[in-house]
Amino acid sequence: MPNNQKHQIYFIDCREGLEKLPDQSIDLVVSGPPYFDHIVYSKDEKNLSTKNYQDFLRDISEVWEKLERKLKDGGIVAIWLHDIYVKKEDHFELISFHSDIIKTFPEDLALRQIVIWDRYLKKIYTDLPKEEQFGARFQYILVFSKGKTAYEKKLKDFYWKPVWYFKTMPRFLGLKMLYHIVFFFGKIFYLQKILNPIFSQVKKVLLQDKYKFRGYQTTCPPELAQMLIKIFSKKEDTVCDPFLGSGTTLKVTNKLKRRCVGFEINKDARKMILEKISSKNVEVFE
């Protein structure tokens, strides 16, 4: 593979790394941003996940500004995130993270679409701590464009996908119905004592959200990255992820025959990212 078609992975602060790219060289940005100091990925002071909320919002706006310069005219930025509950003494308060993030975008990247994915989280179907489930149920996909785009029609079509289109189903839907039927009759015939221990195991194993975060916190479901990359780019386009995390964007970009330029500051994620792809097809920068 010629060097100019290889994926490029930079294990440095994305703000520094973006400076190294030519202006107007990115077709699409797909990413899941960090969650200020709510989830700390590494202790590096340039890791945006070490910042308090106000500093984080200031610093992340710098990322979008730099990305805007590197994005081609008509390019799309699609990010994926959820709101957050934070603990305040004896109660939890909701931070409307998605709306605060929208305000950090520069004027030249206009908000074009919001799609909500209902993850159908129920307290019994996931391993997330209880308070986190409230914030993580609804995932927001925020889509911005740099001016008028070749994807105007696709943006409109995207709008008409109903919210529940992205609803996560429990792994075996039929079994969920069967479970409710058996539970219903169990209640009528007072069999709960016998059935409840069995049911709680069934719930845990069969009905859980199959997108529960695995391996790396807040891993993007590959299906979601795939959908965004398929809709908003074409083969051989350059797709950038400033916050690679476990490398989902890299993996999907490679599968869809696009080129990925990605950044990650957490050195612990290095192995996880690089094993997603053959070393022949990637240039690594530290």
Ligand X SMILES: C[S@@+](CC[C@H](N)C(=O)[O-])C[C@H]1O[C@@H](n2cnc3c(N)ncnc32)[C@H](O)[C@@H]1O
Residue 78: phi, psi to the nearest 5?
A: -125, 115
In the complex with ligand X, the residue whose CB is nearer, 14 or 282, is: 14
User: Taking the complex as a whole, how short is the minimal distance between the CB of residue 174 and ligand X, in angstroms?
Assistant: 30
User: Taking the complex as a whole, how short is the minimal distance between the CB of residue 103 and ligand X, in angstroms?
Assistant: 19
User: Collapsing DSSP states into helix, strand and coil, what is residue 60?
Assistant: helix
In the complex with ligand X, the residue whose CB is nearer, 168 or 266, is: 266
User: For residue 163, what are the contacts with CB-CB under 8 A and spacing of at least 6?
Assistant: 115, 116, 117, 118
User: Taking the complex as a whole, how short is the minimal distance between the CB of residue 208 and ligand X, in angstroms?
Assistant: 19
User: Taking the complex as a whole, how short is the minimal distance between the CB of residue 277 and ligand X, in angstroms?
Assistant: 14
Distance, in Å, from the CA atom of 50 to the CA atom of 237, rounded to the nearest integer, reads 33
Distance, in Å, from the CA atom of 50 to the CA atom of 184, rounded to the nearest integer, reads 48
For ligand X, the nearest residue by Cβ is 245
Binding ligand X (rule: CB under 6 A), the pick from 151, 166, 216, 232 is 216
User: Taking the complex as a whole, how short is the minimal distance between the CB of residue 213 and ligand X, in angstroms?
Assistant: 9
Binding ligand X (rule: CB under 6 A), the pick from 64, 117, 140, 243 is 243
Binding ligand X (rule: CB under 6 A), the pick from 133, 226, 248, 254 is 248
Stretch that binds ligand X, among 129-137, 146-154, 243-251, 278-286 (CB under 6 A): 243-251
Q: Binding to ligand X (CB under 6 A): which residues in 123-162? A: none
In the complex with ligand X, the residue whose CB is nearer, 71 or 225, is: 225
User: Taking the complex as a whole, how short is the minimal distance between the CB of residue 271 and ligand X, in angstroms?
Assistant: 13
User: For residue 143, what are the contacts with CB-CB under 8 A and spacing of at least 6?
Assistant: 76, 77, 78, 111, 112, 113, 114, 115, 155, 158, 232
Q: Binding to ligand X (CB under 6 A): which residues in 14-73? A: 14, 32, 34, 41-42, 46-49
What kind and span of H or E run contains 115? strand 110-118
Binding ligand X (rule: CB under 6 A), the pick from 149, 209, 264, 276 is 264
Stretch that binds ligand X, among 95-103, 115-123, 177-185, 242-250 (CB under 6 A): 242-250
264-271: Cβ within 8 A, 24+ apart = 264/9, 264/10, 264/11, 265/11, 265/12, 265/13, 265/14, 265/42, 265/44, 265/46, 265/47, 266/41, 266/42, 266/44, 266/47, 267/11, 267/42, 268/42, 269/41, 269/216, 269/244, 269/245, 270/11
- The pair of three-digit structure tokens given for residue 147, joined into one six-digit string: 């001016």
In the complex with ligand X, the residue whose CB is nearer, 78 or 202, is: 78
Distance, in Å, from the CA atom of 137 to the CA atom of 119, rounded to the nearest integer, reads 5
Binding site for ligand X (CB under 6 A): 13-14, 32, 34, 41-42, 46-49, 216, 218-220, 243, 245-246, 248, 263-266, 269
